[in-house]
Amino acid sequence: MGELTSGSDGSASSPPQALLERLKDYGQEDAFSLWDELSPEEKELLVKDIENLDLPRIDRIIRCSLRSQGLPAPTIEPVPETSVSSVEERTLEERERWWKMGLKAISEGKLAVLLLSGGQGTRLGSSDPKGCFNIGLPSGKSLFQLQAERILCVQRLAAQSVNEGSGGYVPIHWYIMTSPFTDDATRKYFESHKYFGLEADQVTFFQQGTIPCVSKDGRFVMETPYRVAKAPDGNGGVYSALKTSRLLEDMAMRGVRYLDCYGVDNALVRVADPTFLGYFIDKGVVAAAKVVRKAYPQEKVGVFVRRGKGGPLAVVEYSELDQSMACAINQETGRLRYCWSNVCLHMFTLDFLNQVANGLEKDSIYHLAEKKIPSIHGYTAGLKLEQFIFDAFTYAPSTALFEVIREEEFAPVKNANGSSFDTPDSARLLVLRLHTRWVVAAGGFLTHSVPLYATGVEISPLCSYAGENLEAICRGRTFHAPCEITF
């Protein structure tokens, strides 16, 4: 640690010279501008804070990101039809073949699951990690529990598909990315719930990084006189976090070849979906994404596009797509030209993740978000630097898109109840309605005292992953909504 030189009263009179010189090299010496007003403890905290920053890396990120702002973006083209497996073109034979291929790979331990769970439920009115949130289902299960039980179910299906009745199964390893704000609470939550029936050693937690917030000209914003303001580096921080925590090696050591990546706040997420995995393996690509058809031109979702003629697929945020493009119609199909929405359900090969981690680090280009940042001058206008999970796609020589039905796989939980969309209430209804359709398809009946559109039944993920194997439980039986159906 840089030695503090002390004045006659025993307090450090000037900042450590070497550290100050390093800051000057990067134009960040203002971080020490209030040095003389700090107490000895605060001076020590400031020195530690600065010493913990990887200055050359941060400087490179700031410079590359600010410089890339002015560059013209490559022209955008619609995704070629050949890259997409749409719901209407898919045959039952294909779906069954992919399901079996996926289960086989899972039974061989080739799939791991990667959860992006750095966010707090702030917009939901909770400071807990989002995954702890209970959306009000009859079972009272949290998002984390629903996901854990879907993993348990797939493990069982995979084991049954290869060996009738011998009882052994290969655990699916679950990597969970937290942030400094959610790490401790997430670990404790899993421990206190005994990992929801999973083995403790099949779950690995790791933290995404943070990055200093900067002013428009790239200088650090000081949150307090002795601390640089920092923010999480976005869900795309997962790539550098996997690299620095050596988890890419860990995956390789476990024999993992494919990674299923998703965001925590989707109540209908099909974690470790065998059909998607089978499709991915069948196409022989390095990256894939599940997509839903955009509902209407102004919908606030990012869409997949092709960057430049013959270029890679990439995601464009809704704010970056101009009005005329958002509304453009493909004359042949009568559909939106840019219709494939990104819903943060991705599949990658492990080899490709290694390339992405190195590529993103080398290019060091982050998205700049203008935000009000808490600082010594109150809230000031500044920039947060973030990467997004979908930044990976521009590095992929081949990407396949797999259309899924929104009502079956996408129930986002983003805003508090009372908001107009993506609330716990709207997600709960999507789950109850889907499961009601499963029960009816399996020959069951429903009674209800509230109108059926406002209720339904919940099927435990331990009973059925995607509506399969329900006849024995449901046929000829009547259920009173709302209720949970377990074994």
- DSSP string over 45-81: HHHHHHHTS-HHHHHHHHHHHHHHHTSPPPPEEPPPG
Residue 401: strand pairing partners: 84, 289
Rounded CA-CA distance 185/130 in Å is 11
Residues 186 and 91 in one domain: yes
Residues 140 and 103 in one domain: yes
What is the structure's pLDDT at 399? 96
More confident residue, 221 or 126: 221
Rounded CA-CA distance 462/160 in Å is 14
Sign of CA dihedral 328, 330, 334, 335: negative
Residues 418 and 455 in one domain: no
Residues 411 and 440 in one domain: no
What is the structure's pLDDT at 9? 45
Residue 385: strand pairing partners: 368
Mean pLDDT, residues 446-464 taken together? 94
What is the structure's pLDDT at 289? 98
Residues 414 and 438 in one domain: no
Residues 416 and 452 in one domain: no
Q: Tell me how far CA of residue 474 lies from CA of 86, 153, 440, 442, 467, in angstroms.
A: 31, 18, 8, 6, 11
239-253 residue pLDDT tens: 999 999 999 999 999
- Residue 3 clears pLDDT 70, i.e. is over it: no
Average pLDDT, the chain: 92
Residues 322 and 461 in one domain: no
User: Which domain range does residue 271 map to?
Assistant: 70-422
What is the structure's pLDDT at 2? 52
Question: Structurally, how many domains does the chain consist of?
Answer: 2
The CATH number for 101's domain is 3.90.550.10
What is the structure's pLDDT at 167? 61
At residue 172 the predicted structure's pLDDT band, cuts being 50, 70 and 90, is: very high
Please state, as a whole number, how many other Cβ atoms lie within 10 Å of the Cβ of residue 198.
19
Residues 377 and 467 in one domain: no
